[in-house]
């Protein structure tokens, strides 16, 4: 998990298996979440899940992402491998289903 408050990727949130970027919206803290990034040999940028989350929602968002991983992973499968296998939709659905 990589966290940054800098649009210039100072915390390398773009390549985190779970990336969290702090953004300012009219003076309030919000966080954009991406998943599926990697800084390994076959580096890639994570995919942004959708609209940013309020600061108070981030702990439950991360918990939801981990829950989806734990439910869908194969034996000894890493988070990034599960994301690559099943795609971002199951993760996205879980973190945004509370809004529906």
Please report, for the chain, the start and end positions of each structural domain, with discontinuous segments joined by +.
2-99
DSSP of 51-93? S-EEGGGHHHHHHHHHHHHHHHPPTT--HHHHHHHH-SHHHHH
pLDDT value, residue 1: 83
Residue 49: name the closest of 31, 22, 25 by CA: 31
Domain 2-99 fold: Sulfite Reductase Hemoprotein; domain 1 (3.30.413)
Per-residue pLDDT of the chain (100 residues; tens, 9 = 90+): 878 877 665 768 878 889 898 888 888 889 999 999 888 888 888 899 999 999 999 999 999 999 999 999 999 999 999 999 999 999 999 999 865 5
């Amino acid at each position: 998990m990589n966290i940054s408050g800098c649009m210039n990727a100072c915390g390398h949130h773009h390549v985190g298996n779970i990336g969290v970027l702090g953004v300012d919206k009219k003076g309030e803290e919000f966080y954009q979440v991406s998943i599926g990034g990697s800084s390994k040999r076959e580096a890639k940028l994570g995919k942004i899940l959708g609209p940013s989350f309020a600061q108070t929602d981030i702990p439950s968002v991360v918990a939801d992402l981990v829950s989806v991983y734990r439910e869908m992973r194969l034996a000894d499968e890493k988070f990034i491998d599960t994301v690559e296998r099943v795609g971002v939709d199951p993760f996205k659905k879980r973190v945004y289903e509370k809004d529906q």
